[in-house]
Protein backbone atom coordinates (compact mmCIF):
# COMPACT_ATOMS: atom_id res chain seq x y z
CA UNK A 1 0.00 0.00 0.00
CA UNK A 2 1.07 3.57 -0.62
CA UNK A 3 3.00 5.04 2.30
CA UNK A 4 3.82 1.64 3.91
CA UNK A 5 6.87 1.40 6.17
CA UNK A 6 10.13 0.76 4.28
CA UNK A 7 13.16 -1.23 5.39
CA UNK A 8 14.99 2.01 6.16
CA UNK A 9 12.05 3.53 8.00
CA UNK A 10 12.09 6.55 5.66
CA UNK A 11 11.42 7.28 2.00
CA UNK A 12 11.38 4.20 -0.26
CA UNK A 13 14.70 3.24 -1.87
CA UNK A 14 15.67 1.23 -4.94
CA UNK A 15 16.28 -1.73 -2.61
CA UNK A 16 12.73 -1.44 -1.20
CA UNK A 17 11.17 -1.37 -4.66
CA UNK A 18 13.30 -4.34 -5.75
CA UNK A 19 12.28 -6.38 -2.71
CA UNK A 20 8.58 -5.62 -3.20
CA UNK A 21 8.71 -6.36 -6.94
CA UNK A 22 10.80 -9.52 -6.47
CA UNK A 23 13.53 -8.34 -8.85
CA UNK A 24 17.15 -7.20 -8.53
CA UNK A 25 18.14 -3.69 -7.50
CA UNK A 26 20.03 -3.37 -10.81
CA UNK A 27 16.83 -4.09 -12.77
CA UNK A 28 14.94 -1.41 -10.85
CA UNK A 29 17.74 1.04 -11.65
CA UNK A 30 17.51 0.20 -15.36
CA UNK A 31 13.75 0.75 -15.37
CA UNK A 32 13.86 4.02 -13.43
CA UNK A 33 16.57 5.39 -15.73
CA UNK A 34 14.62 4.37 -18.83
CA UNK A 35 17.63 2.38 -20.02
CA UNK A 36 17.39 -0.72 -22.25
CA UNK A 37 17.70 -4.19 -20.72
CA UNK A 38 14.33 -4.84 -19.08
CA UNK A 39 11.44 -6.76 -20.59
CA UNK A 40 8.11 -5.03 -21.05
CA UNK A 41 6.55 -7.15 -18.30
CA UNK A 42 9.36 -6.42 -15.83
CA UNK A 43 9.29 -2.73 -16.65
CA UNK A 44 5.52 -2.57 -16.09
CA UNK A 45 5.77 -4.44 -12.77
CA UNK A 46 8.58 -2.24 -11.43
CA UNK A 47 6.82 0.98 -12.40
CA UNK A 48 3.59 -0.25 -10.80
CA UNK A 49 5.33 -1.11 -7.52
CA UNK A 50 7.28 2.17 -7.54
CA UNK A 51 4.02 4.10 -7.95
CA UNK A 52 2.36 2.10 -5.16
CA UNK A 53 5.25 2.87 -2.81
CA UNK A 54 5.43 6.53 -3.89
CA UNK A 55 9.09 6.01 -4.84
CA UNK A 56 11.04 8.94 -6.29
CA UNK A 57 14.63 8.66 -7.57
CA UNK A 58 17.27 10.40 -5.46
CA UNK A 59 18.26 13.26 -7.77
CA UNK A 60 21.34 14.18 -5.74
CA UNK A 61 22.73 10.65 -5.70
CA UNK A 62 21.98 10.26 -9.40
CA UNK A 63 23.71 13.53 -10.31
CA UNK A 64 26.79 12.78 -8.20
CA UNK A 65 27.10 9.35 -9.81
CA UNK A 66 27.10 10.90 -13.26
CA UNK A 67 30.32 12.19 -14.82
CA UNK A 68 28.45 14.82 -16.83
CA UNK A 69 25.36 15.71 -14.82
CA UNK A 70 23.14 18.15 -16.72
CA UNK A 71 22.73 20.60 -13.86
CA UNK A 72 22.59 24.38 -13.67
CA UNK A 73 22.95 25.87 -10.21
CA UNK A 74 21.39 29.20 -9.31
CA UNK A 75 22.66 31.33 -6.44
CA UNK A 76 19.95 33.83 -5.62
CA UNK A 77 18.72 36.28 -3.05
CA UNK A 78 14.96 36.68 -3.01
CA UNK A 79 14.42 40.35 -3.69
CA UNK A 80 10.82 40.31 -4.86
CA UNK A 81 8.46 39.55 -7.69
CA UNK A 82 10.95 40.34 -10.44
CA UNK A 83 13.35 37.67 -9.19
CA UNK A 84 10.52 35.18 -8.75
CA UNK A 85 9.54 35.71 -12.37
CA UNK A 86 13.17 35.52 -13.46
CA UNK A 87 13.55 32.16 -11.68
CA UNK A 88 10.48 30.89 -13.51
CA UNK A 89 12.11 31.93 -16.79
CA UNK A 90 15.32 30.13 -15.85
CA UNK A 91 13.43 26.90 -15.17
CA UNK A 92 11.80 27.13 -18.61
CA UNK A 93 15.06 27.98 -20.40
CA UNK A 94 16.98 25.20 -18.62
CA UNK A 95 14.30 22.68 -19.56
CA UNK A 96 14.58 23.65 -23.23
CA UNK A 97 18.37 23.25 -23.03
CA UNK A 98 18.00 19.82 -21.40
CA UNK A 99 19.26 20.85 -17.97
CA UNK A 100 17.80 20.63 -14.49
CA UNK A 101 17.96 23.59 -12.12
CA UNK A 102 19.12 23.57 -8.50
CA UNK A 103 18.58 26.65 -6.31
CA UNK A 104 20.73 27.78 -3.39
CA UNK A 105 19.66 30.91 -1.54
CA UNK A 106 21.64 33.71 0.07
CA UNK A 107 20.11 35.02 3.30
CA UNK A 108 21.08 37.32 6.13
CA UNK A 109 23.07 34.45 7.65
CA UNK A 110 24.16 32.64 4.48
CA UNK A 111 26.50 34.41 2.08
CA UNK A 112 27.38 33.79 -1.56
CA UNK A 113 30.28 31.47 -0.69
CA UNK A 114 28.05 29.16 1.37
CA UNK A 115 25.32 29.18 -1.27
CA UNK A 116 27.84 28.41 -4.02
CA UNK A 117 29.47 25.56 -2.08
CA UNK A 118 26.11 23.79 -1.87
CA UNK A 119 25.92 23.83 -5.65
CA UNK A 120 29.46 22.51 -5.92
CA UNK A 121 28.37 19.56 -3.77
CA UNK A 122 25.76 18.80 -6.42
CA UNK A 123 28.48 18.98 -9.11
CA UNK A 124 26.64 21.61 -11.11
CA UNK A 125 28.11 22.30 -14.56
CA UNK A 126 27.08 25.97 -14.74
CA UNK A 127 26.35 28.59 -12.09
CA UNK A 128 23.96 31.52 -12.58
CA UNK A 129 24.01 34.35 -10.04
CA UNK A 130 20.93 36.47 -9.24
CA UNK A 131 20.86 39.13 -6.55
CA UNK A 132 24.08 41.16 -6.53
CA UNK A 133 26.75 40.79 -3.88
CA UNK A 134 29.16 43.00 -5.81
CA UNK A 135 32.77 42.36 -6.75
CA UNK A 136 33.99 39.15 -8.35
CA UNK A 137 31.85 36.00 -7.94
CA UNK A 138 33.48 33.45 -5.64
CA UNK A 139 33.37 30.72 -8.32
CA UNK A 140 34.78 32.89 -11.11
CA UNK A 141 37.36 30.94 -13.10
CA UNK A 142 36.47 27.58 -11.52
CA UNK A 143 33.51 26.75 -13.78
CA UNK A 144 31.18 28.66 -16.13
CA UNK A 145 29.51 31.53 -14.24
CA UNK A 146 26.81 33.84 -15.57
CA UNK A 147 25.74 36.95 -13.68
CA UNK A 148 22.24 38.31 -14.35
CA UNK A 149 21.47 41.96 -13.74
CA UNK A 150 24.74 43.72 -12.94
CA UNK A 151 28.24 44.19 -14.34
CA UNK A 152 31.37 42.41 -13.12
CA UNK A 153 34.89 42.81 -14.51
CA UNK A 154 36.17 39.22 -14.21
CA UNK A 155 36.95 38.08 -17.74
CA UNK A 156 35.77 34.50 -17.19
CA UNK A 157 32.27 35.59 -16.11
CA UNK A 158 29.45 36.16 -18.59
CA UNK A 159 27.05 39.02 -17.87
CA UNK A 160 23.44 39.38 -19.02
CA UNK A 161 21.68 42.59 -18.02
CA UNK A 162 19.37 45.33 -19.21
CA UNK A 163 20.57 48.86 -19.92
CA UNK A 164 20.21 51.00 -16.80
CA UNK A 165 21.30 54.01 -18.85
CA UNK A 166 18.52 53.52 -21.39
CA UNK A 167 15.91 52.80 -18.72
CA UNK A 168 16.73 55.91 -16.68
CA UNK A 169 16.78 58.05 -19.83
CA UNK A 170 13.36 56.74 -20.86
CA UNK A 171 11.88 57.41 -17.42
CA UNK A 172 13.36 60.90 -17.07
CA UNK A 173 12.50 61.94 -20.64
CA UNK A 174 8.91 60.81 -20.16
CA UNK A 175 8.53 62.85 -16.97
CA UNK A 176 10.17 65.91 -18.48
CA UNK A 177 7.86 65.73 -21.49
CA UNK A 178 4.94 65.76 -19.07
CA UNK A 179 6.32 68.96 -17.53
CA UNK A 180 8.17 67.70 -14.45
CA UNK A 181 11.42 69.30 -13.32
CA UNK A 182 11.82 68.17 -9.70
CA UNK A 183 12.38 64.44 -10.14
CA UNK A 184 13.68 62.35 -7.23
CA UNK A 185 15.34 58.96 -7.44
CA UNK A 186 14.48 56.60 -4.57
CA UNK A 187 17.33 54.10 -4.51
CA UNK A 188 17.56 50.40 -3.72
CA UNK A 189 20.19 50.52 -1.00
CA UNK A 190 23.94 50.15 -1.35
CA UNK A 191 24.12 47.39 -4.00
CA UNK A 192 25.75 47.77 -7.42
CA UNK A 193 22.47 47.81 -9.36
CA UNK A 194 21.08 50.62 -7.22
CA UNK A 195 24.30 52.57 -7.70
CA UNK A 196 24.24 52.01 -11.46
CA UNK A 197 20.64 53.26 -11.70
CA UNK A 198 21.48 56.33 -9.60
CA UNK A 199 24.36 57.17 -11.96
CA UNK A 200 22.11 56.60 -14.98
CA UNK A 201 19.37 58.84 -13.52
CA UNK A 202 21.97 61.48 -12.65
CA UNK A 203 23.37 61.42 -16.20
CA UNK A 204 19.87 61.71 -17.67
CA UNK A 205 19.09 64.76 -15.51
CA UNK A 206 22.42 66.38 -16.41
CA UNK A 207 21.75 65.71 -20.07
CA UNK A 208 18.51 67.68 -19.75
CA UNK A 209 20.23 70.43 -17.72
CA UNK A 210 18.11 69.75 -14.65
CA UNK A 211 20.90 69.64 -12.08
CA UNK A 212 18.84 71.73 -9.65
CA UNK A 213 16.12 69.06 -9.71
CA UNK A 214 18.51 66.23 -8.82
CA UNK A 215 17.69 64.43 -5.61
CA UNK A 216 18.46 60.98 -4.21
CA UNK A 217 16.39 59.52 -1.40
CA UNK A 218 17.40 56.39 0.51
CA UNK A 219 15.12 53.47 -0.26
CA UNK A 220 15.60 49.72 -0.41
CA UNK A 221 14.22 46.60 -2.04
CA UNK A 222 10.62 46.21 -0.87
CA UNK A 223 7.36 48.06 -0.26
CA UNK A 224 8.29 48.87 3.33
CA UNK A 225 11.27 50.87 2.06
CA UNK A 226 8.94 52.73 -0.29
CA UNK A 227 6.68 53.59 2.64
CA UNK A 228 9.59 55.05 4.61
CA UNK A 229 10.82 57.04 1.61
CA UNK A 230 7.32 58.44 1.00
CA UNK A 231 7.09 59.76 4.57
CA UNK A 232 10.51 61.38 4.24
CA UNK A 233 9.52 63.01 0.96
CA UNK A 234 6.34 64.37 2.57
CA UNK A 235 8.46 66.01 5.27
CA UNK A 236 10.95 67.59 2.87
CA UNK A 237 10.93 71.34 2.31
CA UNK A 238 10.90 71.12 -1.50
CA UNK A 239 8.99 67.98 -2.46
CA UNK A 240 9.34 66.49 -5.93
CA UNK A 241 6.59 66.44 -8.50
CA UNK A 242 7.79 63.03 -9.72
CA UNK A 243 9.68 60.02 -8.35
CA UNK A 244 11.64 57.29 -10.12
CA UNK A 245 11.86 54.22 -7.85
CA UNK A 246 14.52 51.53 -7.83
CA UNK A 247 11.93 48.81 -8.48
CA UNK A 248 8.19 48.21 -8.69
CA UNK A 249 7.88 47.18 -5.05
CA UNK A 250 9.42 50.41 -3.77
CA UNK A 251 7.18 52.32 -6.19
CA UNK A 252 4.09 50.48 -4.89
CA UNK A 253 5.02 51.43 -1.32
CA UNK A 254 5.34 55.06 -2.38
CA UNK A 255 1.99 55.10 -4.18
CA UNK A 256 0.02 53.49 -1.39
CA UNK A 257 1.53 55.74 1.27
CA UNK A 258 0.92 58.89 -0.75
CA UNK A 259 -2.70 57.94 -1.35
CA UNK A 260 -3.22 57.06 2.31
CA UNK A 261 -2.04 60.59 3.16
CA UNK A 262 -4.48 62.16 0.67
CA UNK A 263 -1.87 62.80 -2.02
CA UNK A 264 -3.15 62.08 -5.50
CA UNK A 265 -1.13 59.96 -7.91
CA UNK A 266 -0.43 61.23 -10.53
CA UNK A 267 -2.11 64.63 -10.06
CA UNK A 268 0.08 65.66 -7.12
CA UNK A 269 3.05 63.38 -7.71
CA UNK A 270 3.93 60.96 -10.53
CA UNK A 271 5.66 57.66 -9.79
CA UNK A 272 7.74 55.47 -12.12
CA UNK A 273 8.84 51.95 -11.17
CA UNK A 274 11.37 49.53 -12.60
CA UNK A 275 11.01 45.90 -13.84
CA UNK A 276 7.37 45.66 -15.03
CA UNK A 277 6.68 42.86 -12.58
CA UNK A 278 3.18 41.48 -12.04
CA UNK A 279 2.77 43.98 -9.18
CA UNK A 280 2.96 46.89 -11.64
CA UNK A 281 -0.02 45.49 -13.55
CA UNK A 282 -2.39 45.30 -10.58
CA UNK A 283 -5.35 47.66 -11.17
CA UNK A 284 -4.89 49.61 -7.91
CA UNK A 285 -1.18 50.17 -8.67
CA UNK A 286 -1.27 50.50 -12.50
CA UNK A 287 2.35 51.58 -12.54
CA UNK A 288 4.33 53.27 -15.27
CA UNK A 289 7.56 51.30 -15.22
CA UNK A 290 10.81 50.48 -16.98
CA UNK A 291 10.36 47.00 -18.38
CA UNK A 292 13.09 44.37 -18.23
CA UNK A 293 12.42 41.25 -20.29
CA UNK A 294 12.76 38.47 -17.70
CA UNK A 295 12.16 35.72 -20.25
CA UNK A 296 14.94 36.94 -22.52
CA UNK A 297 17.34 37.55 -19.63
CA UNK A 298 16.78 33.97 -18.46
CA UNK A 299 17.07 32.48 -21.94
CA UNK A 300 20.37 34.20 -22.71
CA UNK A 301 21.78 33.44 -19.25
CA UNK A 302 21.21 29.71 -19.75
CA UNK A 303 22.43 29.88 -23.34
CA UNK A 304 25.66 31.65 -22.33
CA UNK A 305 26.38 29.23 -19.50
CA UNK A 306 25.87 26.15 -21.67
CA UNK A 307 27.90 27.68 -24.53
CA UNK A 308 30.82 28.53 -22.24
CA UNK A 309 30.73 24.97 -20.91
CA UNK A 310 31.16 23.76 -24.50
CA UNK A 311 33.89 26.39 -25.17
CA UNK A 312 31.64 27.79 -27.91
CA UNK A 313 30.84 31.13 -26.32
CA UNK A 314 30.89 34.49 -28.07
CA UNK A 315 33.84 36.81 -27.46
CA UNK A 316 31.46 39.51 -26.23
CA UNK A 317 30.80 38.40 -22.65
CA UNK A 318 28.64 41.37 -21.59
CA UNK A 319 25.15 41.17 -23.13
CA UNK A 320 23.12 44.35 -22.59
CA UNK A 321 19.43 44.11 -23.50
CA UNK A 322 17.18 47.11 -24.22
CA UNK A 323 14.54 48.38 -21.82
CA UNK A 324 11.05 49.62 -22.61
CA UNK A 325 9.01 52.23 -20.76
CA UNK A 326 5.50 50.89 -20.13
CA UNK A 327 3.04 53.74 -19.66
CA UNK A 328 0.20 53.39 -17.16
CA UNK A 329 -1.81 55.72 -14.95
CA UNK A 330 0.78 56.49 -12.24
CA UNK A 331 2.30 59.32 -14.30
CA UNK A 332 0.77 62.52 -15.63
CA UNK A 333 1.40 66.26 -15.89
CA UNK A 334 2.23 68.06 -12.63
CA UNK A 335 -0.81 69.64 -11.00
CA UNK A 336 0.78 73.04 -10.46
CA UNK A 337 2.36 74.56 -7.35
CA UNK A 338 1.74 72.38 -4.32
CA UNK A 339 3.38 71.06 -1.22
CA UNK A 340 2.93 67.51 -0.07
CA UNK A 341 1.21 67.19 3.31
CA UNK A 342 3.52 66.41 6.17
CA UNK A 343 3.55 63.04 7.87
CA UNK A 344 0.67 62.67 10.38
Distance of alpha carbon 31 from the chain centroid: 37
310: burial class by Cβ within 10 Å (0-12, 13-18, 19+)?
Answer: exposed
Q: What is the pLDDT of residue 319?
A: 93
Q: What is the pLDDT of residue 339?
A: 41
Distance of alpha carbon 317 from the chain centroid: 20
Query: What residue ranges define each of the domains in the chain, with the CATH number in brackets?
Result: 14-57 (1.10.260.40), 67-162+294-322 (3.40.50.2300), 164-287 (3.40.50.2300)
Q: What is the pLDDT of residue 342?
A: 38
263-267-273 Cα angle (round to 5): 85
Give the helix/strand (H/E) hosting 171.
helix 164-178
> In sequence order, what are the residues at sequence separation of 6 or more whose Cβ sits closer than 8 angstroms to the Cβ of residue 198?
185, 187, 216
Sheet holding 214-217, edge to edge: 214-217, 183-186, 242-245, 270-275, 288-291, 324-326
Phi, psi angles (nearest 5°) of residue 148: -110, 120
> In sequence order, what are the residues at sequence separation of 6 or more whose Cβ sits closer than 8 angstroms to the Cβ of residue 141?
154, 156
Q: What is the pLDDT of residue 178?
A: 97
Q: What is the pLDDT of residue 137?
A: 82
Q: What is the pLDDT of residue 10?
A: 66
Q: Are 333 and 178 in contact (CB under 8 A)?
A: yes
| Segment-wise mean pLDDT, segments of 10 residues, the chain, 344 residues | 52 85 85 80 89 75 57 84 89 92 88 86 88 73 88 87 97 97 94 91 95 91 95 88 97 97 95 96 96 95 89 77 97 68 38
Q: What is the pLDDT of residue 169?
A: 97
The Cα 258–Cα 178 span in angstroms is: 20
Q: Are 28 and 20 in contact (CB under 8 A)?
A: no
Neighbouring-strand partners of residue 310: none
Q: Are 273 and 263 in contact (CB under 8 A)?
A: no
> In sequence order, what are the residues at sequence separation of 6 or more whose Cβ sits closer than 8 angstroms to the Cβ of residue 236?
340
The Cα 252–Cα 283 span in angstroms is: 12
Q: Are 226 and 250 in contact (CB under 8 A)?
A: yes
pTM of the model: 0.78
Q: What is the pLDDT of residue 246?
A: 96
Q: What is the pLDDT of residue 56?
A: 74
Give the helix/strand (H/E) hosting 160.
strand 157-162
Q: What is the pLDDT of residue 2?
A: 46
The Cα 250–Cα 227 span in angstroms is: 8
Q: What is the pLDDT of residue 6?
A: 57
Q: What is the pLDDT of residue 315?
A: 65
Amino acid sequence: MKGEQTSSGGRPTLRDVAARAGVSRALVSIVMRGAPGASAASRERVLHVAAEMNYRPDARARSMASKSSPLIGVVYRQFGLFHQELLDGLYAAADVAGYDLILSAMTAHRDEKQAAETLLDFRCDVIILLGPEGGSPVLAGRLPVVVVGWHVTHQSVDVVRCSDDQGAQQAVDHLIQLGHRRITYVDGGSGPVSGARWQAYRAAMHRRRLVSGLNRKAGGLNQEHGVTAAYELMESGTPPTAVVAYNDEVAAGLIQTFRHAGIRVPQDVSVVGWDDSSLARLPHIDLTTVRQDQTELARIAVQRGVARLAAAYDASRDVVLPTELILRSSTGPPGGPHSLPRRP
